[in-house]
A and B are shown apart, each in its own frame.
Chain A
Amino acid sequence: MKTDRRPLVLISPALLWLFGLMVVPCLLILVVAFFRRGVYGGIEYTWTLENIALVFDPLYFGIFMKSAAIAGLAAGIACVLGYAAAYAIASMPRRHQPMLLFFAVLPFWSNYLVRSYAWIVLLNREGLIANLARWIGFDGELPKMLYTEPAVVIGLIYNYLPFVILSCYAPLSRLNPEIAEASRDLGASAWTTFRRITLPRTVVGIATGFVFVFVLSIGNFVTPALLGGGQFQMIGNLVYAQFLTANDWPFGAALSMVLIIIMLGLLLLQAVITERASGGKAYTDG
C-alpha cells in the first residue's frame, strides 16, 4: 500500500498550488462575471446578466471584432511566411536543417518586450527607416509608421513567426519524399505535386501555427500598447482598464470570460485537428 500513497505525497504540493492559484482564480472569473458592479468599484453580490450583455454592446463587440481581424491578419501572414520558411529549411540538406531551425527559433528566446521595442527603434519618426529614406534622397513627408495598425500587425508577426516555422517544419520534415517523386514521375507538375501531395499532408502544421498566433494575438496586451500607441484598444487592453483604471471588475471578468472561451475553444479545436491528423500517420511516413 505504501507504494500507492507515496506518489500522492510528491504530487499534492504542486497540485494544491495549481489548484489554488490557477483553477480557483480562473473559476472565479466565471463567477464574478455574473455579479453587479459596486457603487464605488468592487463587487455587489447580486446576480445579473448585464455584464455579459454589455460585452455584446456594439461599442465593445466592435473591439472584439477588431481584435479578431488584427489577430487573423497577423496569423494569416505569419502562416504564409512561416510555411515558406519551414518548406525552404526542409528542402535544405539534412545536416544543415537543425542549425537553420535553431537560428529561426533563437529570437523567440529573447524577451518579448525587447522584440517589440526593436520595431519602435526601426519605425519611429527619427528611426532607422526614416533615416534610411532620407539618406537615399527622399525628403517628402514620410507616412506615419509607428503607432498604426500595420505596426501592430508587423509586431505580432515578428514575435510569433518562429513558432509557426516550428509547427510547419514538423510535418514537412516527416514527409516521405518518395510520394512526391512518384507524383512527378507520373507527370504532375511541381505546382500540382505541391498542391495535391505536399500541402494536404502538412496543412496540420499551418493549422496549429494559425491557432496559436491567433490566440496569442487576440488576447495580446503589450504589442497594441507599444506599437499601436494609445490609438486603439484590443480586448487585452480593455480588460486591463476594467480591472486597474475603470474599476469595473464584473465587466472586466465578463470580457475575460468571453475572451477565454474564444481562446480555449480554438486551442481545443486545434488539439482535435492534431489528433485526427496523427491518426493518419501512414501518409507522412517517418
Chain B
Amino acid sequence: MERHTLMADRNTYRLMLLIIGIVFAFLYIPISVLVALSFNEGGLPTAWTGFSVKWYGALWQNDEILQAARNTLFVAIFSTILSTILGSLLAVGVEIRRRNGKWLETIIFAPMIIPDIVLAIALLSFFSLLGVKMGLHTIIVSHVVFNLAFVCAVVRARLKNFDWAIVEASADLGASTITTLIRVILPVLMPAVLAGALLAFTLSVDEFIIAFFTAGAGRSSITLPMQIYAMIRFGVTPEINALATLVMAVSVVALALSQRLNRGGLPGQ
C-alpha cells in the first residue's frame, strides 16, 4: 500500500477530505460567483437570465477603462523591459561572485519581502519631497524596484547549476565580457529570463498600491487596478464583474505560462 505522510484510518481520511472540501469551497465559491455573474445576461445576482458576453462587449465601449488599460500596458511593458535587464544582470553578477556579503543578499531580497504599503509610502514621500511631478513614469520606476528583485530570483534559481567553465572557456578564447554575456550566458538563461519577464509583467499589471501612491493626481495616469478600485468603491455592476474576470484570467494564464517556461533543467542536463 502506498505510504501516506500522515497515517490515516478510513474515518480520519474522510474527515481530511471534508476539510479540503470546505477550504476549497471557501477559496473558490467567491471568485466562481463573480465569473458566473459576468456571463449572466441580466447582470444581477437575483436570477440567471441566460448566458451572454454582452458585459465584456460593454467594456470595449467604456473609454475610461480602455484608457486605463492602455496606461497599464504602457507601465507594464516599460517596467518589464527595465527590470528584466537590471534583474538578469544582477543575477549573473551575484552568481559569478558566489560569495556575497549578507548586506548584498538582504538588499536584493528586501523588495520581495517589504510590504507594498511601506514602499508605496516611502516612494510617495520621496517623490513629493524632491518635487518630482508624478505620473506614469514614476509608477514605472517604482515597479522596477520590486520587479527586478523577482526577475533576479527567477534567473538566479536557474544559474544555481550553471557550468561556469564555459564562461571561462569563452574568455580564454578571447571573447569580451559582453560577447560572453550575449553569446554564451544568455542563450542558456533565456527560458528563465523570459519567465522572469513574464512574472514581472504580470506583477506590474496587477499591482495596485504602489501605482496608487505614485501616480500623482489627475485621471491621466490611472492604471487598470486603480480604475477597478475606483469603480468597486461605488458598488457592484456587471461591467466590473466582466472586467474583474478578465483581469483574473490574464494574471492566472500569464503566471502559469511563466512557471511552464521555467520548468525543467538546463539544456543538455
Docked-complex contact A103 and B111, CB < 8 angstroms: no
Q: Which of B1-53 contact A (CB under 8 A)?
A: 2-8, 12-13, 15-17, 19-20, 23-24, 26-31, 33-34, 37, 44-46
Name the segment of B63-71, B190-198, B232-240 touching the other chain. Answer: B232-240
Please tell me if B141 contacts chain A, counting CB pairs below 8 Å.
yes
Within 8 A of A (CB), among B221-261: 225, 228-229, 232-233, 235-236, 240-241, 244, 247-248, 251-252, 255
A195-B264 Cα distance, complex, nearest whole Å:
39
CA distance A208 to B135 in the complex (A): 37
**Are B118 and A259 interface neighbours, CB within 8 A?**
yes
Given contacts A107-B28, A110-B251, contact A131 B19 (CB under 8 A): no
Which B residues are CB-close (under 8 A) to A222?
Answer: 208-209, 229
**Closest residue of chain A to B229, judged by CB?**
A113
Q: Which residues of A contact B177 (CB under 8 A)?
A: 6, 9
Query: Do B117 and A219 touch across chains, with their CB atoms under 8 A apart?
Result: yes
Question: What CA separation (Å) do A94 and B3 show in the bound complex?
Answer: 8
> What number of B residues sit within 8 Å (CB to CB) of A?
83
**A188 CB → nearest B CB, Å:** 12
A251 to chain B, nearest CB (A): 12
Q: Is A158 an interface residue (CB 8 A)?
A: yes
Task: Say which size band chain A's interface belongs to.
Answer: 35 or more
Partner of B122, one of A28, A106, A177: A28
B262 within 8 A of A: no
Interface pair A127/B6, CB less than 8 Å apart: no
Q: Is the CB of A115 within 8 A of B2?
A: no
Q: Is B89 an interface residue (CB 8 A)?
A: yes
Q: Are A111 and B46 in contact (CB under 8 A)?
A: no
User: Residues of B contacting A253 with CB < 8 Å?
Assistant: 125
Q: Tell me how far the C-beta of A26 lies from the nearest C-beta in chain B, rounded to whole angstroms.
A: 5
Q: Which one, A8, A104, A172, contacts B23 given CB within 8 A? A: A104
15 more CB-based (< 8 A) A-B contacts, given A91-B4, A93-B2? A7-B93, A11-B89, A24-B126, A87-B19, A91-B5, A91-B13, A112-B206, A128-B33, A175-B6, A177-B4, A177-B5, A215-B115, A221-B117, A226-B232, A252-B121
List 7 contacting pairs A-B, 8 Å CB cutoff, sorted by A: A11-B94, A111-B228, A111-B248, A121-B241, A165-B23, A249-B125, A260-B118
Instruction: Point out residues on A near B: beta carbons under 8 Å.
Output: 3, 6-11, 13-15, 17-19, 21-26, 28-29, 32, 43, 81, 84-85, 87-95, 100, 103-104, 106-107, 109-122, 124, 126-128, 131, 158, 161-162, 165, 172-173, 175, 177, 180-181, 184, 190, 198, 215-216, 219-222, 225-226, 236, 239-240, 243-244, 249, 252-253, 256, 259-260, 263, 267
Binding site for A on B (CB under 8 A): 2-8, 12-13, 15-17, 19-20, 23-24, 26-31, 33-34, 37, 44-46, 86-87, 89-90, 92-94, 96-97, 104, 107-108, 110-111, 113-115, 117-119, 121-126, 128-129, 141-142, 144-145, 148-149, 152, 177, 206, 208-209, 213, 225, 228-229, 232-233, 235-236, 240-241, 244, 247-248, 251-252, 255
